[in-house]
Structure 1
């Protein structure tokens, strides 16, 4: 199991983007097949009944659109309009409404009109992406600076540059190796 990037616990849309990543063994895609995609949804409290390949394609398309939004935020640029259209359409896939619940006091929760469906999961992910992009978390979105890493995270500490300690360790080890090689080259002259 890969370590979650900072912020994935607060934003399922950020976690969605990071379902495609690089590892020592190559490219990893947690949404590559229906069983894996359904397991990922369950882990993020977005249960969906039996997924079909078309459902996986919808999740993958949403992931690409959300990735474009996060990249645009990190690069301080306008996103591709198609990504915005995709996210907005996904947010409308399920009619959700705020509901009052009482747990030690009044709370507002969004409740799906079609709980347990792929539409509900896709809509919840898209609405979270909209909340991130249009809210305070949007300014914290950063891509990992480690060579070869494609994940995003919320940069809540000014010195943080990597999505995980693994990426940070990899960068520091590469920097150390470069210095050793440079020192050997300098002493050989």
Structure 2
């Protein structure tokens, strides 16, 4: 089973939501184990601040459960905002209040504060003091970013990709954008074409 979700260059909360993804074999979850979660964290690490990138290797099974819970909360918020009709994309969290509560519980649960440190050689360098469990640092930072992200509720151009079989979300950054990717756009247009001509879409 594939464990590498597509990275669309979206805001990190959207990338986290898209760790639930689909291909011709069905819907997959890229966060099924701490190892697979670390691989995903490694893929997004270049976009993270230093202390967050370094926290990926310290993700524990408990941290994985928290990351999955946060992901499910964000997908529930996204479904509400977009009016997402896709049953296959439904979040494990059914209640909107529970989703909001989950995000708020994680935001600020761990924090990295920049500090100056004097080395033995007499140099002054920047380091980070982590408050809270190190394995929780990424989840906490992602939750805080999600607060800012969804806090623009009425102005947020978040969309559910309604191409056949897709379960991803994306930011509509162009008036004519309808799909999360070119591949989904091609698939949707092919499906419409075959529907008009009474032929099933090719599975090849």
TM-score bin (small chain): 0.7 to 0.9
Q: Is the 8 A contact 2:33 2:64 kept in 1?
A: yes
CA shift, 1:71, in A, is: 2.0
Q: Is the 8 A contact 1:147 1:171 kept in 2?
A: yes
Instruction: Give ranges in structure 1 of 5+ residues lacking alignment.
Output: 100-110, 183-189
- Cα distance in 2 for residues equivalent to 1:2 and 1:80: 25
Change (3 A) 1:2 1:31: closer
- Cα distance in 1 for residues equivalent to 2:192 and 2:131: 51
Runs of 4+ in 1 over 6 A off after TM superposition: none
Cα RMSD of the aligned pairs, angstroms, is 2.8
How high is the TM-score relative to the length of structure 2? 0.71
How high is the TM-score relative to the length of structure 1? 0.76
Aligned residues between the structures: 167
Higher relative contact order (CA 8 A, sep 6+): 1
Match of 2:56 in 1: 48
Instruction: Give ranges in structure 2 of 5+ residues lacking alignment.
Output: 46-52, 85-94, 116-127, 200-204
Q: Is the 8 A contact 1:20 1:30 kept in 2?
A: yes
- Cα distance in 2 for residues equivalent to 1:140 and 1:112: 36
Q: How does 1:26-105 map to 2 (within 5 A)?
A: 26-45=26-45, 46=53, 47-75=55-83, 80-97=96-113
